[in-house]
Amino acid sequence: MREKTFRVPKTREIIEMNGLVYPTKLNGDYILGMIADGNFVMAGNSFKEAVRNLESIHDKSNAIMIFPPRFSVDRETFNKMSKSLEWMVKIDSQSVLREVSGNENVPKTMTKEFLEHYKIKPEKLIKSAVSLTNSENPPVGYYWMGWDRKPRTVHWVQSATAAEMIVMHKQGAFEVGDVKDKKPYARNMRVSVSSRSEEGKHYDFSIFRMPIFSNDKDSRIYSYWVNIDHSSSDPFANYMAEHEQQVLPQCSWSTTAITGVYLSMMHLNKIKHPLQFKVNPFSIPSDKSAIDFIDDARLKSLILAKDLDGKLSLRPLNKSEINRLLGARTSERGYDSCWFNMGKNRLDYLYEPKI
Regions in the chain scoring below 70 on pLDDT: 1-6, 82, 237-249, 308, 354-355
Closest CA to 228 of 239, 212, 217, 243: 212
Distance CA 334, CA 57 (A): 21
| Amino acid 318: pLDDT | 93
| Amino acid 239: pLDDT | 64
Distance CA 27, CA 34 (A): 11
| Amino acid 241: pLDDT | 62
Q: Where are the domains of the chain?
A: 11-74+286-333, 81-284
In this structure, the number of other CB atoms found within 10 A of the CB of residue 204 comes to 14
| Amino acid 199: pLDDT | 81
Over residues 24-33, the pLDDT tens digits come to 988 889 999 9
- Write phi, then psi, for 305 (nearest 5 degrees): -145, 175
Over residues 78-106, the pLDDT tens digits come to 777 767 788 999 999 999 999 999 999 99
| Amino acid 5: pLDDT | 46
Spatial neighbors of 132 by CB under 8 A, at least 6 apart, are 89, 95, 96, 99
Closest CA to 205 of 151, 278, 255, 167: 255
Sign of CA dihedral 231, 233, 236, 240: positive
| Amino acid 84: pLDDT | 78
